[in-house]
Structure 1
Amino acid sequence: MMTSFLLVAAVVVGPMRPAAAAHEIASLRAAGAPVEMTVPRGGAALEVMVAIGDADPADSLMRLANDALSKGDYRRAVELFRSIRARFPKSARLGESMYMEAFALYRTGDTRDMSRALTSLDDLRAKYPTTSARDAASLRTRICGELARQGDSRCAEDVTATARAAAEVGAARAEGRRSGRGVRAGDCTEDEDDERIAALNALLQMDAERAMPILTRIIARRDKCSEVLRRKAVFLISQKQTSETADLLLKIAKGDPDAEVREQAVFWLSQVRDERAVDMLSEILKGETDAGLKDKALFALSQHRSERANGLLRAYAERDAEPEELREKAVFWLGQKRSVENSEFLRTLYGKTKNEELKDKIIFSLSQQRGTGSEKWLMDIVSNPKEPVELRKKALFWAGQGGASLAQLAGLYATLGDREMKEQLIFVYSQRRDPAAVDRLMDIAKTEKDKELRKKAIFWLGQSRDPRAAGFLAELIDK
């Protein structure tokens, strides 16, 4: 049997009123720290004994501070993170506490607190240069960006310089390739990219006209190290609708050598209200072989409200030569764009295709097209014995979830000769929040000749919150 040892740390809190002391102890205990309290002679200081197990003595306070942070109590979190350095000066988590204090100060949204956060990050870099270096640099840039928007000229200079560096480093690497030095494997780092992206985002919010040329230069980079940066730059470009946005995204979608960068550009073409974007998406669906790119193009078309975009989705869904999964995506997006034309097309496509997976997706998409005659069509599928039973069951389920009235569903039970379909209908009744559906289940439980179907109805009555169901089941038990 192993013995568990506890290390005990003495935390001198300083002069404290009894109520405050009790609160401190309760807080530490709430954080999961076993604590004891002693008061030295004279009451000069409160000494808290924290049992911490085989761990860093600051762990309990870190948990408490992080809990305050997660609850949005940022000032309390600042106090707790700061107190770690005073109470545990030899802790291995001092650098982490400084970073978290800066983050909590930033989250308050107060200008003075954000300035204090920058000071804390500067101290962190000086005292613990390797602790959270990547995150600290990125956080510093985010804070500086916010302060720059509020008129801090020094921060504005820093943000602009960092953003420009993102483009200039590409030129330096290109020169290295021309001179034969190349790019070493260790030269690529995401640490710098995070800081530069934060700076670019801040600059974009401050002054889009100054940011867009820098983003354009980044997008033009072709060095291997710039791929991640270019992917992030595409998102930033998409978030600021300027006269250049459509041109840049179209250029990236056509010409970037990285597939993921192109996919991101195609995805964000969904937000560009420019007919040229629809032209580009049409070209991708016709000429591209990359399934990921086509998937993004289908989504982008679904976000355009033009009838032409709808027509391109319909045309793609019809093409038997296209990948089944992508045709299903086109059908799904058509279902999300309610129109009589889309409903008619999907019903026609259902009759043409022999692919049951595609038919399944068509049934779902039509269930989303309320008010276009699709409710009756779904019920016709349910009643058609020539249709595969699994598709009939899907149609029944979605009809029950959608526009079919309970009167339609109630009258359906007697017309179904198939036990599997009746079982599905019992389940559909159970999903309706309607007293009449409970009536129907009780009726089946009393009068259905098939014992298994009666058992199904009784099971679902047992799940009902309708008080009548409980009384009905009690009567069955008493019989």
Structure 2
Amino acid sequence: MHTHTLFYPTRTALTMTVCLLALLLLTGALSTVAAQKNFEKLTRFVQTQNASEASAKVFRAGRDFIGEENWKGAVEKFQSFIEQYPKDAGIDAALYWLAFAQFKLDRLTEASSQLQRLLKKYPNSNWADDARALQIQIGSQQGRAVEPSSDDDEEIKIVALESLFRSNPERGLAFVQNMFKPGSNASRHMKEAGIEFIRRFGEEKAVPLLIDIIRNERDAELRKAAIETLGRTGDERAFEILVEMVKTSTDDDVSNAAVFAISRFKSERSHPVLFEMARSAKSVEVRKNAIFYLSREGSDDVLDELMRLYASEPDVEVKKQIVFALRRMNTPRSIAKLYEVASGNGDVEVRKDAIHWIGQRGDAQAIEYLIKTYDAETNEEMKNQIIFGLSRTNQKSALRKLMEIARHDKSLELRKQAVFWLGRSDDPEAAQFLEDILK
């Protein structure tokens, strides 16, 4: 950025320059909180879908890859969703998360193209604001000028607040405290920035100030932001407060934010609490989140504890989350357990999830297992899931199994499914097979 731009006489030039500066400063300050909030928003959206629909399964797989930070897998899934279900209600969300994953892979031009498509076709989408924010970030990395928006003044104020913290932390803290007093007209966005600046610049005062916001703020989103930020301080004083919150709160959003914050601490402190929440929290969503954060570590101790929970757990949703954890841990032992679940005689929905994650692996062992399991399986829902798994790989053995099913399976519905997925293959052998059927 050229410094003489600041002296241009027009307000637009000044605004564009300061907005770009705002972006560069805020990227480090708010990216972690924003990413967590957006993933929670994505998860809430997935929970509103009909999980039995084929489109929802593809979308959920993309969401899971985002959670695993498997950006290539997410790109593949969301591209597949957009191609297969162009009229689905989730198409705008898929466009945003496709762009997000491409952005993470440094495929900036492709990401920008998807965002432009989203904003042009779905200007009132719930993801439009997120798309505009990501578009600005991409523009800054590409060295493009950033168009000013109606939020310019607020962004300038945030830059000014950070500058105040850098020059005089005491005055910055006092300003943020006033923002949270009754009668303040500060926006939520401004307050979220203030919460992050407390963590970055507040030093010893950060923890008590964040706790005060958590206890007194009425806005649930701001309380969540403060709880998550409290966990990111790494301050041992915060740990017991977070444990108290997660055990006593009747608000799932608060409990989930506290679980996330606790997961940021070292495993010897966080794991006992997370295991307790996974076993006994009243909310299924809180239990699932505790399992999710435990699965970030692929240790044998975590795996053993999760399998003990699996063996005693009656709730199907919790069991399915443990199955996802096995895939996410991705160790030889956890993958072996995944195969055990798929081959067992447990709940069909849980076994279907295990089959799904095995299919996502796409290696020779997985394909061989799916083929053998299909022949031995009697449940049609399971067979349908195996067909889907076979369709997600480019392995010739999987393609030929789909052809065999399409030709000879006793079930008309399963034969139709095999033909459907063969039609989505780019393999010339699949195209020839379909032509032969039509003769």
Which bin holds the TM-score, normalised by the shorter protein?
0.5 to 0.7
2:389, 2:21 → 1: CA distance? 54
- Post-superposition Cα deviations, 1:49-98, rounded to whole Å, max 9, x if no partner, equal xxxxxxxxxxxxxxxxxxxxxxxxxxxxxxxxxxxxxxxxxxxxxxxxxx
CA contact (8 A) 2:19 2:156 kept: no
CA contact (8 A) 1:234 1:249 kept: yes
- Who is 2:304 aligned against? 344
- Who is 1:398 aligned against? 357
- Who is 1:112 aligned against? 4
Structure number having the greater helix percentage? 2
1:317, 1:426 → 2: CA distance? 33
C-alpha displacement at 1:219, in angstroms?
1.6
CA contact (8 A) 1:314 1:330 kept: yes
- Post-superposition Cα deviations, 1:276-301, rounded to whole Å, max 9, x if no partner, equal 23222112112333332212111122
- Who is 1:466 aligned against? 427
1:432, 1:143 → 2: CA distance? 45
- Post-superposition Cα deviations, 1:19-44, rounded to whole Å, max 9, x if no partner, equal xxxxxxxxxxxxxxxxxxxxxxxxxx
- Who is 2:319 aligned against? 359
- Who is 1:40 aligned against? none
The match for 2:248 among 249, 268, 287 is 287
Identify if the C-alpha distance between structure 1 residues 196 and 421 changes in structure 2 by more than 3 Å, giving closer, same or farther.
closer
- Who is 1:409 aligned against? 370
The match for 2:399 among 418, 421, 438 is 438
2:242, 2:163 → 1: CA distance? 31
Q: Which amino acid is the alignment partner of residue 328 of structure 1?
A: K
Q: Which amino acid is the alignment partner of residue 214 of structure 1?
A: G
Report the number of matched residues. Answer: 307
- Who is 1:30 aligned against? none
Tell me, yes or no, if structure 1 residue 277 matches structure 2 residue 235: no
- Who is 1:388 aligned against? 347
1:389, 1:193 → 2: CA distance? 52
Identify if the C-alpha distance between structure 1 residues 410 and 305 changes in structure 2 by more than 3 Å, giving closer, same or farther.
farther
C-alpha displacement at 1:426, in angstroms?
1.3
**1:45-444, aligned counterparts within 5 Å?**
109-116=1-8, 119-121=9-11, 139=15, 142=18, 196-204=157-165, 208=166, 210-219=168-177, 222-225=181-184, 228=187, 230-240=191-201, 242=203, 244-246=205-207, 248-254=209-215, 259-320=220-281, 322-385=282-345, 387-402=346-361, 405-444=366-405
> TM-score of the superposition, structure 1-length normalised?
0.56
Identify if the C-alpha distance between structure 1 residues 223 and 406 changes in structure 2 by more than 3 Å, giving closer, same or farther.
same
2:226, 2:197 → 1: CA distance? 11
CA contact (8 A) 1:114 1:143 kept: no
2:331, 2:224 → 1: CA distance? 35
2:20, 2:351 → 1: CA distance? 60
2:380, 2:153 → 1: CA distance? 65
CA contact (8 A) 1:246 1:274 kept: yes
**Structure 2, gaps ≥5 residues long:** 26-150
C-alpha displacement at 1:425, in angstroms?
1.0
Provide the identity percentage. Answer: 30
Identify if the C-alpha distance between structure 1 residues 460 and 193 changes in structure 2 by more than 3 Å, giving closer, same or farther.
closer
**Structure 1, gaps ≥5 residues long:** 1-108, 125-135, 150-189
- Who is 1:183 aligned against? none
Q: Which amino acid is the alignment partner of residue 265 of structure 1?
A: A
CA contact (8 A) 1:141 1:198 kept: no
- Post-superposition Cα deviations, 1:6-27, rounded to whole Å, max 9, x if no partner, equal xxxxxxxxxxxxxxxxxxxxxx
> TM-score of the superposition, structure 2-length normalised?
0.61
1:142, 1:391 → 2: CA distance? 52
CA contact (8 A) 1:339 1:372 kept: no
Identify if the C-alpha distance between structure 1 residues 223 and 417 changes in structure 2 by more than 3 Å, giving closer, same or farther.
closer
Identify if the C-alpha distance between structure 1 residues 436 and 219 changes in structure 2 by more than 3 Å, giving closer, same or farther.
same
Larger RCO (CA within 8 A; separation ≥ 6): 2
Identify if the C-alpha distance between structure 1 residues 414 and 217 changes in structure 2 by more than 3 Å, giving closer, same or farther.
same
- Post-superposition Cα deviations, 1:291-321, rounded to whole Å, max 9, x if no partner, equal 322121111223334332122111111115x
Q: Greater Rg, structure 1 or structure 2?
A: 1
Q: Which amino acid is the alignment partner of residue 324 of structure 1?
A: V
Q: Which amino acid is the alignment partner of residue 114 of structure 1?
A: L
C-alpha displacement at 1:210, in angstroms?
0.9
C-alpha displacement at 1:246, in angstroms?
4.2
